[in-house]
Structure 1
Amino acid sequence: MRTQGYTQLKMFQKSDEFFNSLGLIPMPEEFWAKSLIVKPKDREVVCHATAWDFCNGKDLRIKQCTEVNMRDFITVHHEMGHIQYYLQYKDLPHIYREGANPGFHEAVGDTLALSVQTPKHLKEIGLLDQATQIDDYETSINFLMAIALKKVASLPFAYIIDKYRWAIFDGSVDPSQYNSYWWKLRKEYQGIKPPVERSEENFDPGTIYHVASHVDCSRYFAAIIIQFQFHRSLCKEVDQ
């Protein structure tokens, strides 16, 4: 990407081109004028990527401290997926301008991002060498394993974040056990332990955006499952 002169803006433009190629709605002028896609140097901002609908049908923005790498390239498409969803229901009454559930909205963004990271698409946009074999068994298995490591491994993590948060809310965990309980859940559901010894002097879950900012993670748990149902349906439509 860097060799080809990718910038943060070009990453978003490539994403817009991808959506346009699917027959979806181009980003409005307000999106390009008002989105924050590069971390500002003159002030502190929350860099966690988010998409925003200002509910007038045209002022739609993304806030992301984008870096030129593959991880953020996928995130760009995910956030643009949210914006595309906003655009699709912008003319409906306000009460209908939401996903069927929070996981539904996240799944829409992830479904679109799934197609972006396939070897075939990366080769088409010049981010994989043209000589790279994309249809052989080994490439397919390696790609599917990479997706599984990212998606399947996220299920228990998303689950324990909300299990942890609600245990705090309902008072079933004493404040003297906030950190030890976190690592108890991680060992029980993820099978991992801290690389160094931790104590109640530490507050490791507080480093996670969704804990510190009070964002539910059940939406991501549901989205991981729903996105593959969406993707399967889209693939069936293409094959017809």
Structure 2
Amino acid sequence: MLDQALTFGDGLDTLRWALAALSLLASLAYLAIVDRSPSLWRTGFKTASIALWVPLPLLGLHVEGASTLALVALAAAFLFSSLGDYFLALKGDARNFPRGLASFLVAHIFYLIVLAPLVSASAGWQLWGIAAVAILAIASLAWLWPKLGAFRAPVILYMAVISLMAVAAFSVPLPWLGIGALFFVFSDVVIAVDKFRMPVPRRGHVVWITYYGGQALIAASLIGLLR
């Protein structure tokens, strides 16, 4: 899957692999200090992990038959995801959580722009994946509801959009794409549970591993498909 996403034979493959490697290194560096107090390094590693992917779809714009809209939208999804990571890495300002939520909301809308033309009839394992998304979203929202307070409307909107993104991902016949989207939903549920309901042990590690892993599966699947 990685080879399909990063090897085009157009003279830019070294750059693609370098960006992917730097992203992984930044992700591992952030994971190593995820529980430490906020710092420039901590924020920088977290933000860079996904930001380094922004050029990857754009490097495929020259490929004959490539969809400009889909590739630019995918780059925008990575960009707004990294912006969301930046806001959530900051502490000391209550406004950073809704800023991060809004950034990820926009990222999911861009993901939907990419996924919508690729959706096909779902069957078999895809239906199981869609059911898993629905159960996770509905059950977590019902459990969090009494504690959401003023965040009820934004959380409902966000949960609806990310769930729609995950359903769309499972409606494309690429197993790792749907699994990546489900990981993404799970990571956000853990964040919400930790913020609104109860502390989650090793929350930072659980969220980052499922979030970055999910994003990586989505990125590799879509770049490989859109090439």
TM-score, structure 1 as length reference:
0.27
- TM-score, normalised to structure 2, is 0.28
Structure number with the bigger relative contact order (C-alpha 8 A, sep ≥ 6) is 2
Structure possessing the higher radius of gyration over alpha carbons: 1
Pick the structure with more helix per residue. 2
